């Protein structure tokens, strides 16, 4: 059993949850993920590591309520327990010395770029961060990212905070101003990662992205998480989750993610009929992270 230490509603459907997992965080590295199971009969959900504190033994996950299991997770209160938290899984992100190292986080993808930015800076890089979201309420970790990066740029699609526009607009501007990065790590929705790769390719900037295919075991046995990279089949869980974005087949990833939509919708509808109370946490803990 794994104890919930903290749990906050961040805005819209976004939550920050902190688990007590002292042994796991001793080994965890930026870019890795965990697989959570809320209850014994519950499904396994992969979640990126948003932050970790080896001294406190705590691991932070930022998640979006999107279906049944994440809605169930949103009902948890500090002091309660989930069934298990397996990890760290997957390979760490490339955070070695590159020179001008850029992280780009879109939406919920701001969480996993945060530990990578911290580590890349510790490793002597000049770290540029771009974080973006649809609107102000969906932004989080701005203070944490300011500490982790040498330069931080914030944007929203609707202009409600920071610069108005997409993360790719900021990337293009920085390149035009002479701040061409030597390396980019971009994490966020698939269309965003695809757009970042399309922007960086003409400049020949090495660009890695973190994939989020359906994962079941997270250990390379079921094959659910397969993706194509440079025409070769790879498993997101054991070969990734980070891959060279200029080689990744984004269209295949998108269509594989849609495969279970009907079943996921039905499962959420049944959950909402049985347990409409997950809204309760949103109302009771409107405290910022």
Ligand X SMILES: Cc1cc2nc3c(=O)[nH]c(=O)nc-3n(C[C@H](O)[C@H](O)[C@H](O)COP(=O)(O)OP(=O)(O)OC[C@H]3O[C@@H](n4cnc5c(N)ncnc54)[C@H](O)[C@@H]3O)c2cc1C
List residues near ligand FES by CB under 6 A. Answer: 215-218, 220-225, 235-237
Residue 70 contacts which entry, ligand FES, ligand X, none (Cβ below 5-8 A, type-dependent):
ligand X
**What's the min distance (Å) between Cβ of 123 and ligand X?**
23
Cβ closest to ligand FES, residue 190 vs residue 224 = 224
**What's the min distance (Å) between Cβ of 69 and ligand X?**
3
CB distance 111 to 262 below 8 Å: no
Residue 268 contacts which entry, ligand X, ligand FES, none (Cβ below 5-8 A, type-dependent):
ligand X
Residue 101 contacts which entry, ligand FES, ligand X, none (Cβ below 5-8 A, type-dependent):
none
Question: Is the bond leading into 71 cis (omega within 30 degrees of zero)?
Answer: no
**What's the min distance (Å) between Cβ of 210 and ligand FES?**
14
**What's the min distance (Å) between Cβ of 66 and ligand X?**
5
Cβ closest to ligand X, residue 88 vs residue 181 = 88
Residue 212 contacts which entry, ligand FES, ligand X, none (Cβ below 5-8 A, type-dependent):
ligand X
198-236 exposure pattern, b = at least 16 Cβ within 10 A, e = fewer: ebbeeeebebbbbbbbebebbeeeeebbbbbbeeeebbb
Cβ closest to ligand X, residue 61 vs residue 193 = 61
Cα–Cα distance for residue pair 188/56, rounded to 1 Å: 28
Cβ closest to ligand X, residue 205 vs residue 289 = 289
DSSP string, 169-200: HHHHHHHHTT---SEEEEESSHHHHHHHHHHH
Q: How far is CA 164 from CA 69, 180, 280, in A?
A: 33, 21, 33
**What's the min distance (Å) between Cβ of 282 and ligand FES?**
30
**What's the min distance (Å) between Cβ of 215 and ligand X?**
4
Residue 235 contacts which entry, ligand X, ligand FES, none (Cβ below 5-8 A, type-dependent):
ligand FES
- The residues binding ligand X (CB under 6 A) are 33, 45-48, 61-64, 66-70, 108, 111, 212-215, 241, 257, 261, 264, 267-268
Write down the H helix ranges in the chain: 22-27, 68-73, 110-122, 142-148, 167-176, 190-200, 236-239, 250-257, 261-274, 279-284
Minimal CA–CA distance to 33: which of 236, 256, 245? 236
Cβ closest to ligand FES, residue 190 vs residue 222 = 222
**What is the biggest distance separating any 2 CA atoms in the chain, rounded to whole angstroms?**
56
Which helix (H) or strand (E) segment holds residue 90: the answer is: none
């Amino acid at each position: 059993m794994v104890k919930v230490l903290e749990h906050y509603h961040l805005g819209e459907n976004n939550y920050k949850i902190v688990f007590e997992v002292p042994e796991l965080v001793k080994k965890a590295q930026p870019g890795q993920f965990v697989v959570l199971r809320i209850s014994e009969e519950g499904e396994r959900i992969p979640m990126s590591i948003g932050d970790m504190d080896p001294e406190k033994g705590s691991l932070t996950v930022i998640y979006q309520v999107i279906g049944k299991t994440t809605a169930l997770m949103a009902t948890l209160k500090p002091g309660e327990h989930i069934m298990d938290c397996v990890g760290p899984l997957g390979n760490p992100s490339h955070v070695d010395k590159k020179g001008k190292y850029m992280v780009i986080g879109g939406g919920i993808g701001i969480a996993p770029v945060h530990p990578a930015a911290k580590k890349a800076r510790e490793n002597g890089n000049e770290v540029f961060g771009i974080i973006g979201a649809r609107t102000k309420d969906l932004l989080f970790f701005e203070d944490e990212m300011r500490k982790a990066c040498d330069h931080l740029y914030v944007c929203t699609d609707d202009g409600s905070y920071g610069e108005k526009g997409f993360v790719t607009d900021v990337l293009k501007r920085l390149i035009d101003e002479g701040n061409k990065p030597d390396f980019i790590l971009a994490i966020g929705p698939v269309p965003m990662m695809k757009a970042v790769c399309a922007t960086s390719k003409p400049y020949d900037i090495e660009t890695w992205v973190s994939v989020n295919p359906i994962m079941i075991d997270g250990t390379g046995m079921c094959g659910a998480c397969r993706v194509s990279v440079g025409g070769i089949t790879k498993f997101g869980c054991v070969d990734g989750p980070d891959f060279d974005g200029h080689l990744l087949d984004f269209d295949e990833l998108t269509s594989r993610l849609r495969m279970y939509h009907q079943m996921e919708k039905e499962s959420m509808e049944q959950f909402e009929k049985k347990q409409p109370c997950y809204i309760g946490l949103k109302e009771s803990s409107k405290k910022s992270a």
